[in-house]
Chains A and B, each alone.
Chain A
Amino acid sequence: MSLALDAVTLTYPDGDGRLTALDEVSLTVPAGRLTAVVGPSGSGKSSLLAVAATLVAPDRGRVVVAGTDTAGLDAAARAELRRTSIGIVFQQPNLLPSLTAVEQLQVMAHLSGRPPASVRERAMELLDAVGLADRAARRPHQLSGGQRQRVNIARALMNEPALLLVDEPTSALDHERGAAVVALLATLTRDRGTATVLVTHDRAHLSVADTVTTVQDGRLTVAGRA
């Protein structure tokens, strides 16, 4: 199992009390499968991704990523786990303004110390996979929204993560480009064998998912097609 959440509860401080963002959530995503998560705004979708991405520790429950139980990992160990096993596709592309498209990917290898000599080749190969080989030398401000989002996806795949977490990748795109990005994610999931969690608002994207999960007030209901 590339991702296993077991009875995860996450609360945020809310005035005098606590707000329950995730309530006893259990979810498993195997390699090569795409799980879509839908739900109304404020239902806890991003919170689910944050827990899976080890960006926030749950109050209760177990989070296992690529076989590693994240409980008790310190900040450095969690950063390393994100580096080696988790790819995050952000809602906004979140590219670094000073880096060219290919460098956005190369930086991933630099984060873990000495990058191998083949980094650039691998980055170019991934850019090619998302159809941007001819835009490798462009900076973010020289790319369209859809192109930026594709760089964002390619970057998440750079370190060959077991788990790919995608938060509303199409919210900044028009419908056709959104559909193309989601189709690309589905292809990459199957080709590269990642376990992918795709948070989306758009019901039209659900057809590419192996499983569809609905979040409502921090609770999950699986309405799978698995």
Chain B
Amino acid sequence: MFVAWRDLRFAKGRFALMGAVIVLITLLVGLLSGLTAGLARENVSAITGLPADRVAFAAPPAGQSVSFTNSTVTEEQWTGWARRPGVTAAAPLGIRTLNAVAGERTAAVSAFGTRPGDGLAPGAVAPGEAVLSGSAAEELDARPGDTVRLGPLEARVSAVAGDASYSHTPVVWTSLDDWQELGQGGTTAGERATVVVLRGDGADWAAGDAAAGTEARTVDGALTAIGSYQAENGSLQLMRGFLFAISALVIGAFFTVWTIQRSGDVAVLKALGASTPYLLRDALGQAVLMLVAGTLLGTGLALGIGALVSGGDVPFVLSPLTVLGPAGVIIVLGAIGSALSIRRITAVDPLTALGSVR
């Protein structure tokens, strides 16, 4: 690093410019990652928070994949699951998004209907009562003891607990019986729910599916059944992917130009007896140094901005995965990009250092 370190300081301006680009890209990727995770949490936290090994949907018609909106399971199906060997719990869960009204306030919420005693809700649910998630209570300005109206249903708020959110709406927990009265327009809903939440130990899920006419998914697999999640997450991940690719390309381009610029110096060093591995190490060390410095700074900024916004209305998750993950990826991709450009050091002929051609 004898020469590389001095080059860094000597060509400060150029490296600072490139470093600034890395800082900004890292910042952008960091914020995007936090936002992606934040949006995902608003979309799926109610599902990922379920005490479930599998989530069973009604088997979709041939050619379609399962979705929460199109799934309806019957009592026969969940009692069937409950009798399967190895299945320790089979709890029906009803999900419906609707408007809730409390006093003057209205808010779009997701009503999650569950049997009292199944332990899916963060508080005790009972007929005529509702457990509000924190943000539902906030949006409705409701406290325990208040009354909320969910469609045709009036329920007393029994507790405010948890922060479950589904498809960008806060969750209101009701009893399954109450839930079945919601939105069916008065027709007999029968003993129905949306999915069956399963727990089991060594259960044969495929055989259970065949017997009950369902499709059981892992919790992660069930997330793709939330329509908005897949579209949203997919496009955000695509943007992140592009940013990663752009950063690798920009860094590669910078070091290509830089390496060409100093090929005269490289020829001299080779003629003086520098081995090619020495020169490669030197140049790569320089690239990694700049990458690490730029990425650290960008990550620090992303952390700061993330901490500022994550308290407010912006869905933003600050975690090692959302902040340090992208930084690591940028360093690795940047190192690969610069390594590919620095490779041309190998081809520099020390003979060109001799004579007057320079």
Contact = CB atoms under 8 A, between A and B. Distances in A.
B354 A49 contact: yes
B11 interface: yes
Q: Which 4 A-B pairs have the closest CB atoms?
A: A83-B273, A98-B10, A82-B273, A110-B2
Given A50-B351, A98-B9, A103-B6, A92 B271 contact: no
A157 interface: no
B74 to A, nearest CB: 76
A112 B275 CA distance: 9
Interface stretch (B153-161, B201-209, B236-244, B262-270): B262-270
B271 A171 contact: no
A96 B354 contact: no
Interface string B256-295: 0000000011001111111111100000000000000000
Contacts, number: 89
A111 B351 contact: no
Given A90-B353, A98-B7, A107 B358 contact: no
Given A79-B273, A82-B272, A91-B354, A111 B278 contact: yes
A56 B270 CA distance: 13
Interface residues of A, number: 37
B126 to A, nearest CB: 76
Nearest to B6: A98
A80 interface: yes
B314 interface: no
Contacts of B356: 91-92, 168, 171
Q: A92, A155, A168: which has the most chain B beta carbons within 10 Å?
A: A92
Interface in A55-112: 55-56, 75-76, 79-84, 86, 88, 90-92, 94, 96-99, 103, 106-108, 110-112
A226 to B, nearest CB: 26
A98 B3 contact: yes
A107 B355 contact: no
Given A99-B3, A99-B6, A108 B272 contact: yes
A83 B356 CA distance: 22
Interface in B180-229: none
A167 B355 contact: yes
Interface of B: 2-3, 6-7, 9-11, 264-265, 268-278, 350-351, 353-356, 358
A96 B271 contact: no
A139 B355 CA distance: 23
16 contacts: A46-B355, A53-B354, A76-B275, A79-B273, A82-B273, A83-B274, A94-B353, A94-B358, A103-B6, A107-B3, A108-B272, A110-B3, A111-B272, A155-B272, A167-B355, A171-B356
B271 A111 contact: no
Contacts of A110: 2-3
A200 to B, nearest CB: 14
A75 B356 CA distance: 24
Interface string A107-137: 1101110000000000000000000000000
B11 A98 contact: yes
A107 B2 contact: yes
Given A98-B9, A103-B6, A86 B273 contact: yes
B274 A79 contact: yes
Contact of A167 (B275, B354, B358): B354
Q: Which of B270, B273, B275, B277 has the most CB of A within 10 A?
A: B273
Interface in A138-182: 139, 155, 159, 167-168, 171
